[in-house]
């Protein structure tokens, strides 16, 4: 993760030496001085452009992967992720609503709050619809998620079409992006990320208890419904925060936890923290590709994750079936 983060700072339209980037960053720490640092203008690029972008990438990637792993644990379904449950599209709808009614300008609270409300409503709706099926099975849950997502997207498209003046802004946001206005976006996400991931990481052993099913979890003294609500709230908050600053970046939330589970087994003690770290590194890595592949033009990062993630996901599905 550290290596990718340094590379993420170094690569770009103005290439900076990774070694010097590292040296400059260490130099910024108190009580440490390094000789071989970047020039002042390079340092400005690093601190004002690259570093916030990398920080945002780490946060968003960690959030998406960590929340994906949480959803999968809570619903005991490897296919659950921020997208399939409707959380992301709900957050998207919330955010678009905020943008179209003109709340985006004073930004810090408006968009994330609307995104959170939208995401929560979507997950509640998905859960409400899905749980009414026979046995409240996970299949009906996922199907409900697909329906809710489609509905939220439809409403969102309607909003976009009836507010064409903001169309471009909304559209670039929708495709997923990490382009930032300096540190502001990072500061917007950070408290939500700490709250959401903090809760999940500290309580991750409970996800292992829930993996035993409601009945056995109850026998171990857990109240499954209460636990489920708390985890879903935490994961939805995290998803909404990520979506509100970076738009819709798909597949990170599902591919990363799968990958971690494949390699390190299924205890959430391991899956949750590793998913966060791997997700963070992966998103920054993907962002490098997004910036460099068609330089000087940027590919929206959501396009890159889908481009890489979708085939990989199919591969995982195949190997899981065997």
Partner 1 sequence: MISAYGLGVRIAGKVLLDQVSFEVPAGQWMGIVGPNGAGKSTLLRTLVGLTRHTGAVAVADRNIRTVPAKELARMVAVVVQQPVIPEGIAVGDYVLLGRSAHLGLLQRETRHDRARVTAVLAQLELTEFAERRMRTLSGGELQRVFLARALVADPAVLLLDEPTTALDIGHQQEVLGLIDRIRGTRELTILSTMHDLTMAGEYADRILLLHNGRVLRDGSPAEVLEPGLLAGTYGATLEVIPADPVRGFGGPVVVPVRSRADLS
Residues that bind partner 1 (CB under 8 A): 202-203, 205-206, 208-209, 211-213, 215-216, 218-223, 230, 261, 265-267, 269
For the bound state, the minimum distance from the C-beta of residue 231 to partner 1, rounded and expressed in Å, comes to 11
d(CA 179, CA 49): 9
Give the nearer residue to partner 1 in terms of CB position, either 102 or 198. Answer: 198
Q: How many CB atoms lie within 10 A of CB 157?
A: 13
For the bound state, the minimum distance from the C-beta of residue 305 to partner 1, rounded and expressed in Å, comes to 26
Backbone angles phi, psi at 266, to 5 degrees: -110, 10
Give the nearer residue to partner 1 in terms of CB position, either 15 or 136. Answer: 136
Give the nearer residue to partner 1 in terms of CB position, either 3 or 202. Answer: 202
The three-state secondary structure class of 75 is coil
Give the nearer residue to partner 1 in terms of CB position, either 140 or 203. Answer: 203
For the bound state, the minimum distance from the C-beta of residue 66 to partner 1, rounded and expressed in Å, comes to 17
Q: Which pair of tokens denotes residue 177?
A: 């992006």
Token pair 């939208």 in the structure block, residue: 118
For the bound state, the minimum distance from the C-beta of residue 321 to partner 1, rounded and expressed in Å, comes to 13
For the bound state, the minimum distance from the C-beta of residue 247 to partner 1, rounded and expressed in Å, comes to 33
Backbone angles phi, psi at 107, to 5 degrees: 10, -45
d(CA 93, CA 87): 10
Q: Are 170 and 160 in contact (CB under 8 A)?
A: yes
CA-angle at 136, arms to 127 and 321, nearest 5°:
100
The DSSP letter of residue 225 is H
For the bound state, the minimum distance from the C-beta of residue 146 to partner 1, rounded and expressed in Å, comes to 24
Token pair 């644990």 in the structure block, residue: 73
Q: How many CB atoms lie within 10 A of CB 76?
A: 15
Helix residue ranges per DSSP H, the chain: 2-10, 18-28, 40-45, 51-74, 87-100, 110-131, 138-161, 167-174, 184-202, 204-210, 214-219, 224-246, 252-264, 268-292, 301-321
For the bound state, the minimum distance from the C-beta of residue 209 to partner 1, rounded and expressed in Å, comes to 5
Give the nearer residue to partner 1 in terms of CB position, either 44 or 202. Answer: 202
Give the nearer residue to partner 1 in terms of CB position, either 128 or 213. Answer: 213
Q: Which pair of tokens denotes residue 113?
A: 């709050």
Q: How many CB atoms lie within 10 A of CB 138?
A: 16
Q: Which pair of tokens denotes residue 31?
A: 């009580």
Give the nearer residue to partner 1 in terms of CB position, either 166 or 266. Answer: 266
Give the nearer residue to partner 1 in terms of CB position, either 78 or 107. Answer: 78
For the bound state, the minimum distance from the C-beta of residue 263 to partner 1, rounded and expressed in Å, comes to 10
d(CA 58, CA 151): 30
């Amino acid at each position: 993760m550290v290596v990718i983060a340094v590379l993420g700072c170094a690569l770009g339209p103005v290439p900076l030496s990774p070694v010097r980037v590292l040296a400059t960053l260490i130099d910024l720490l108190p009580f440490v001085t390094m000789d071989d640092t970047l020039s002042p203008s390079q340092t400005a690029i690093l601190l004002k452009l690259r570093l916030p972008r990398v920080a945002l990438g780490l946060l968003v990637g960690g959030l998406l992967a960590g929340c994906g792993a949480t959803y999968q644990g809570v619903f005991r379904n490897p296919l659950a992720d921020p997208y399939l449950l409707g959380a992301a599209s709900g957050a998207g709808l919330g955010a678009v609503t905020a943008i179209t009614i003109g709340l985006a300008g004073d930004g810090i609270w408006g968009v994330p709050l609307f995104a959170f409300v939208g995401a929560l409503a979507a997950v509640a709706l998905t859960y409400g619809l899905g749980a009414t099926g026979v046995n409240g099975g996970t299949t009906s849950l996922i199907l409900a998620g697909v329906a809710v997502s489609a509905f939220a997207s439809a409403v969102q498209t309607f909003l976009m079409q009836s507010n064409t003046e903001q169309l471009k802004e909304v559209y670039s946001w929708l495709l997923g992006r990490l382009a930032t206005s300096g540190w502001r976006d990072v500061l917007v996400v950070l408290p939500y990320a700490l709250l959401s991931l903090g809760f999940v990481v500290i309580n991750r052993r409970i996800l292992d208890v829930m993996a035993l099913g409601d009945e056995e979890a109850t026998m171990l003294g857990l109240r499954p419904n209460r636990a489920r609500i708390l985890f879903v709230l935490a994961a939805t908050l995290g998803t909404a925060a990520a979506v509100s600053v970076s738009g819709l970046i798909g597949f990170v939330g599902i591919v990363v936890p799968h990958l971690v589970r494949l390699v390190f087994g299924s205890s959430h003690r391991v899956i949750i923290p590793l998913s966060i770290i791997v997700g963070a590194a992966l998103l920054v890595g993907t962002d490098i590709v997004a910036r460099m592949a068609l330089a000087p033009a940027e590919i929206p990062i959501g396009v890159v994750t889908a481009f890489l993630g979708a085939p990989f996901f199919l591969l995982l599905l195949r190997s899981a079936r065997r």
